[in-house]
A and B are shown apart, each in its own frame.
Chain A
């Protein structure tokens, strides 16, 4: 597989959210606004890229039996870095993302890619995989956040799109917790329909 294929793999064919259903917690919790979604996506992508690279570089050194604790330490280190950098340079975003920043450590996407990809592949390929998966995660979050923010607040990235009348009486449930679950169900249903159409055409 070429590096380009490795990169684009995460966008759609193996999208971590819609295809493999990993990393649901921050996805559902922080897709309330596009700002939060992109902030979370960027933080997770950073951790994913560097932990993939580090684990791949050391894949022949880490003993097989204790590899999971080793991966977790790598991931936790990068998460602490992101946490501190964000607290210093983007305090409002840091506050909005709250406990979901330390929780990137237990985001299954990152451990999943370390186990499924980085410990078998070269550093270059693992970097590409990390970037691809990170972008896939960010795109998925942005898509969901667009739907939820438009319906629930009438805005996109904080800018009013649907007019003041709608913003005064929005579909509030879209940005409340139940909206996340229900809209996710329909989005997944939409993907299932697209897949079936594609299957029929092919």
Chain B
């Protein structure tokens, strides 16, 4: 097989193919979490992936916050796109509208958590504002819009993508805690070895392309 075909078959977002109804939803879930993992194969959300993966606790907190915000953002952006932008012929404003919705949503989540669950707010506190600039959140809104998913598929895609982000982040945090005790060559200490580690994880996830959902 020529390189170009192999790559396109691996990298393309072919997770929506085959079957209908339930099969398609399962395809989106498996595709989002494993095959087209947001972090390791689509390169979305690299900054928090590298920044917050030093400790397992904070990785779990960040992951939970991202799942919540991405599910909300997927729903809200879909609603605004279908009910506001398309009927008014304002499709070209999508980027501006989406990012404002996400920023407002993160702010809202922050306020609600502060009022009703101060403990959770305290646990997630510093990570919440960071989510606005997590490209996975805007990314999923744009992917949903470009693929023309309906409400159910949009939400499933957003949650599956967020769970994939979560999985990669938590695995990475576990690995990095071990890395603290290993003898890394001086030049590769810190960021370089983290990238190489992510690369090795990415190879493992590449294997899921064989699932062919």
Contact = CB atoms under 8 A, between A and B. Distances in A.
Contact of A80 (B95, B194, B196, B202): B95
A193 B206 CA distance: 31
Interface stretch (B111-119, B131-139, B152-160): B131-139
Contacts of A184: 192, 195, 199
B46 A25 contact: yes
A177 B41 contact: yes
Nearest to B93: A80
Closest 6 CB pairs of A and B: A181-B199, A182-B199, A185-B195, A185-B196, A178-B202, A29-B43
**Centre residue among B135, B137, B189, B194 by max chain A CB count within 10 A:** B135
B6 interface: yes
Interface string B63-87: 0000000000000000000000000
B96 A80 contact: yes
B22 interface: no
Given A25-B47, A102-B142, A186-B196, 6 more contacts: A103-B142, A108-B133, A152-B3, A176-B11, A188-B191, A189-B188
Contacts, number: 135
A156 to B, nearest CB: 16
Interface of B: 3, 6-7, 10-11, 40-47, 50, 92-96, 98-100, 103, 132-135, 137-139, 142-143, 146, 185-189, 191-200, 202-203, 206
A188 B46 contact: no
A99 B143 contact: yes
Interface stretch (A8-16, A70-78, A119-127): A70-78
A140 B98 CA distance: 29
Contact of A111 (B3, B10, B133): B133
Kindly state the interface size class of chain A when it binds its partner: 35 or more
Nearest to A79: B95
A76 B96 contact: yes
Which of B10, B94, B203 has the most CB atoms of chain A within a 10 A radius of its CB? B203
Interface in A171-198: 172-173, 175-186, 188-190, 192-193, 196
A163 B41 CA distance: 29
B187 A196 contact: yes
B85 to A, nearest CB: 13
A105 B99 contact: yes
Given A24-B46, A72-B103, A76-B95, A99 B200 contact: no
Interface of A: 21-22, 24-26, 28-29, 68-69, 72-73, 76-77, 79-80, 83-84, 99, 102-103, 105-108, 111, 152-153, 170, 172-173, 175-186, 188-190, 192-193, 196
A177 B95 contact: no
Contact of A192 (B6, B143, B187): B187
A150 B129 CA distance: 40
Given A21-B50, A102-B138, A177-B43, A83 B196 contact: no
B131 to A, nearest CB: 10
A83 B91 CA distance: 12
A92 to B, nearest CB: 15
30 contacts: A21-B50, A25-B44, A25-B46, A25-B135, A26-B43, A29-B42, A69-B103, A72-B103, A72-B132, A76-B95, A76-B96, A80-B92, A80-B95, A83-B95, A99-B143, A102-B95, A102-B142, A105-B99, A106-B133, A176-B7, A176-B206, A177-B41, A178-B206, A179-B199, A181-B196, A181-B199, A181-B202, A182-B195, A182-B200, A192-B188
Contacts of B138: 102-103, 105-106
